[in-house]
Chains A and B, each alone.
Chain A
Amino acid sequence: MDVLYFAWVRERIGLPKEQVVTSAATVLDLVEELKAREERYAAAFADISALRVAVDQELTDFDAPLAGAREVAFFPPMTGG
């Protein structure tokens, strides 16, 4: 699936988008896989209460299932308007 990062999450991880091959059942499982990769991921996901997640461009929770998901995005709370 495609994993996207925005704002300071993108800056901390160092890329806007990557392809991830995963069998993670939920968003939280995916986060744990990413954190185990490298320090920059561990740093970006250190406090997930400071993050929001969208699956297939819909806001959701970290316990959301990933079955059939094509795109997961991580970002800080939004500041539109």
Chain B
Amino acid sequence: MRVVVQEAAFDAGAELNAFSAGLGNMGAVVSFTGLVRDVAGGLAGMEIEHYPGMTEKAIAAICEEAMTRWSLGDALVIHRYGALAAGDTIMMVATASRHRVDAFQAAEFLMDYLKSRAPFWKKETTGQGDGWVAARDEDEDALTRW
């Protein structure tokens, strides 16, 4: 299990290859990559704030929960903070398991919990000014299925 919270950009493809190398008896790897989306057009940039210390602990706890719920060989979470632009990679999740169902479900679980339980806050800058991205009810509701 590996949890990385960093400001610097990362190469999701290279990370996925490194994660997949040497898994041995694992037959499935699932990955998700999150990008900065220009929802309405005119996004000048995004600033992601986080809670140093709690962020790493909260993500590690979510990963450990996934490892106990599903039969996983390994799990990876990388999440950035700081200044990002439209199209930039914000974060990635990867899971490995013997059979695909565990890896798929665990990756979805990790994403659902990272959305609403990892202490990150997104602020968008557009031509109309700055604004904090509001949490969506659907993201909170998504947790109930687990």
Do B57 and A79 have beta carbons less than 8 Å apart?
no
Do B119 and A81 have beta carbons less than 8 Å apart?
no
Do A54 and B54 have beta carbons less than 8 Å apart?
yes
Contact of A78 among B34, B57, B120 (CB under 8 A): B120
What is the CA–CA distance of A37 and B51 in the complex, to the nearest angstrom?
25
Q: Which of B94-143 contact A (CB under 8 A)?
A: 111, 114-123, 132-135, 139-140
Q: Which of A45-81 contact B (CB under 8 A)?
A: 54, 57-59, 73, 75-81
Chain B residue numbers with a CB within 8 Å of A77 are: 116, 134-135, 140
What is the CA–CA distance of A41 and B134 in the complex, to the nearest angstrom?
21
Do B51 and A79 have beta carbons less than 8 Å apart?
no
Total A-B pairs in contact (CB under 8 Å)?
Answer: 69
In the assembled complex, A28 has its CB within 8 A of some CB on chain B: no
In the assembled complex, B13 has its CB within 8 A of some CB on chain A: no
Interface of B is mostly: mixed
In the assembled complex, A7 has its CB within 8 A of some CB on chain B: yes
In the assembled complex, A31 has its CB within 8 A of some CB on chain B: no
What is the CA–CA distance of A80 and B137 in the complex, to the nearest angstrom?
14
Q: How many residues of B contact A (CB 8 A)?
A: 27
What is the CA–CA distance of A7 and B124 in the complex, to the nearest angstrom?
12
Contact of B116 among A54, A57, A80 (CB under 8 A): A80
Do B111 and A79 have beta carbons less than 8 Å apart?
no
In the assembled complex, A4 has its CB within 8 A of some CB on chain B: yes
What is the CA–CA distance of A4 and B79 in the complex, to the nearest angstrom?
22
Do B121 and A57 have beta carbons less than 8 Å apart?
no
What is the CA–CA distance of A64 and B16 in the complex, to the nearest angstrom?
41
What is the CA–CA distance of A78 and B132 in the complex, to the nearest angstrom?
11
Q: Footprint of B on A, CB under 8 Å?
A: 4, 6-8, 10, 54, 57-59, 73, 75-81
